[in-house]
Amino acid sequence: MKIRIATRGSELALMQSKWVSEQLNNFGVATELVIIKTQGDILLDKPLHEIGGKGLFTKEVDRAVLDGLADLSVHSLKDMPVEDEEGLILGAIPERESSNDVLVLNNKESKRIGCGSLRRRAQVARLDFGYVFEDVRGNIHTRLKKMVDNNWAGLVVAEAALKRLNLDQQYNYKILDILPSAGQGALGLRIREADSQTKEIVEKINSDRAMRSAFAESRFLKRLGGGCHLPAGIRSVISGDEIIFTGGVFSLSGCDGVICEKRGALAHAEELAVLLAEEILSQGAEQILDKLDP
């Protein structure tokens, strides 16, 4: 059986899908990439939260799976909507890459940095570096080029993206002390709900720990009542059979924020993540979220 893998055509998406392909090949599974052009790749002149959120990067790729043109889709898990597309399930989450956000360093004399994410902006503002944010979209190479061409101080990106494209060897950067997006650094493999054959195959490259932490982080975000564009972050650290969550919700100005921690047995990760969200809401995050534009 040949597994057809639906993917976006960006360099990072292709690199991620090729990596999944290689992992499956190691188990003797033949694969083929099916490249899908999405509206999220075409509409680059507006901030992501204004044109429907990160679901723009996943729905059309997932549609190829639903329509039988592919057997699985590969996404950056942080780009996936909280709710599964009807007829699809998350078949596997391979071993996770770094979940850190980083600032790629370019011009120390400038105070302008490229950053399109509301979550990142809200938290970087709290660090009081005095940066002025510039909207930036497009693939990571496009964003890095804009940083250089516009002589910005830097660009905020996920460390996982730099590492997967080997750009961590080409650019200097520093890790930011901010909470990542739910699922950041992980890949999500979606398959048809009724496709037991593909499910059995992709489970070969599934990481149980990555799956547990990612599901819990998704539950955290869902309990807050928002999707991946919400100015909220969560970090999970697994130590033995224990998992430690740090989560937070932030005002867009960075002036207000609520951060809490919760730890407990890894086996109860999802319940702990929900309790963490409820604690954050009870400590003032509900008021912060109420002030956000619908």
Which one of 4, 8, 54, 78 is the catalytic residue?
78
Lowest mean pLDDT among 72-81, 198-207, 275-284: 72-81
9 is written with which tokens? 């055509």
Active site residue 71: no
Q: Which of 143, 212, 219, 223 is catalytic?
A: 143
Among 195, 228, 260, 262, which one carries the catalytic annotation? 228
Among residues 121, 137, 190, 192, which one is catalytic?
A: 137
Assess whether pLDDT exceeds 90 at residue 290.
Answer: no
Q: What is the pLDDT of residues 41-72, one digit of tens each?
A: 555 455 544 444 555 668 889 999 999 999 99
What pLDDT does residue 41 have? Answer: 53
Q: How far is CA 159 from CA 75, 86, 180, 294, in A?
A: 16, 31, 10, 30
Q: Is 78 a catalytic residue?
A: yes
The answer to whether 260 is a known catalytic residue is: no
pLDDT of residue 51: 45
Give me the mean pLDDT over the 231-249 stretch: 97
Concerning whether 8 is annotated as a catalytic residue, the answer is no
Complete edge-to-edge strand list for the sheet that includes strand 173-175: 132-134, 112-114, 154-158, 101-105, 173-175
Per-residue pLDDT, 40 = 55
Report pLDDT digits (tens) over 211-237. Answer: 999 999 999 999 998 765 789 999 999
* Active-site residue, selected from the candidate residues 8, 96, 120, 192: 120
Active site annotation includes 199? no
The predicted structure's pLDDT at residue 75: 94
Has 137 been annotated as catalytic?
A: yes
Cβ atoms of 111 and 131 closer than 8 Å = yes
| pTM exceeds 0.95 | no
Please confirm, yes or no, whether 223 is among the known catalytic residues.
no
